[in-house]
A and B are shown apart, each in its own frame.
Chain A
């Protein structure tokens, strides 16, 4: 009977080993985030046309991904948590794209 009550039998295969992130990693991430903040402010003052918002969003996304992966430990988490996080952003994208089908096609060319 002990084999049935073995904890490893109970825990889900969806789990990952616990991992302690070191202060060193955190410091590197902190530095990276500050650097990117500087870059995004600088890039706003240069006229890049349509690429201004694209670069701004790309940098923000990179920063967000870094925070999610390391500050929020998703990099070390199980696939379940990784999928959960992506599901949130997927649904957000559904909200944006499906609503935009209306706004873009309501006035073709004027958008």
Chain B
């Protein structure tokens, strides 16, 4: 009885086993947690700690943006005005909608409505795809205009906007070069965001399948809840990206 040294009392192995299983209700309850409540709170807390790392991960990019926007403000304005507000705003609405249905999905799981849960998860996925589709259209346009940083980057549109039918002020050649910094950050930030969306959609497929099998309609909602946290975090990143990248200066003449 080596272990009995710590405890102040003894009982036989059978009662110990019995007691361990006494408050086990769900099959998903793991043995090393004392209660389901403890397990659930541990899961949420762990997910939040993971999101902290995500904050810092995007934080580095946001700082780079802050720095270069101040250094190369004119180039950032000109380059930002190349982005399409209708597409960006639509995408913002789509993503917020996707988050809304994800939140409803958490609710459906909480109240154990399997059909609604699957429906909401599917809508969330569809809106996620819609976002990525619009993003693809935007990226494709940049590709055709040679605004992808690298060897083929072309500044002629910023040096001589009139020739392209733009009302922008022309930029000096060295400042025009700095638009490449904007597009570097644009692609790094939205690309990293899109990568998170793709991972999220992959997880959504898996969760939808599990929800369809009824795993989350008997009181076990932790995976849905924690995935919801991730999905909303991705929303939040976009909520900041949209004004920072698309809306730097949309009032010509100042």
Contacts and interface: CB of A to CB of B under 8 A. Distances in A.
B34 A7 contact: yes
Contact of A26 (B35, B55, B100, B254): B100
Given A1-B9, A7-B37, A45-B250, A57 B103 contact: no
Interface in A1-31: 1, 5, 7, 10-12, 15, 18, 20-23, 26-27, 29-30
Contact of A20 (B23, B100, B110, B251): B110
Interface string B213-254: 000000000000100110011011001101110011111011
A37 B45 contact: no
Interface of A is mostly: helix
Interface residues of A, number: 57
A18 to B, nearest CB: 8
A67 B99 contact: yes
Interface residues on B, range: 35 or more
Interface of B: 9, 11, 19, 23, 34-35, 37-38, 40-41, 44-45, 48-49, 51-52, 55-56, 59-60, 62-63, 66-67, 70, 85, 89, 92-93, 96-97, 99-100, 102-104, 106-107, 110-111, 225, 228-229, 232-233, 235-236, 239-240, 242-244, 247-251, 253-254
The 9 closest A-B CB pairs, nearest first, are A44-B247, A56-B243, A88-B52, A30-B100, A47-B251, A7-B35, A88-B55, A44-B250, A10-B34
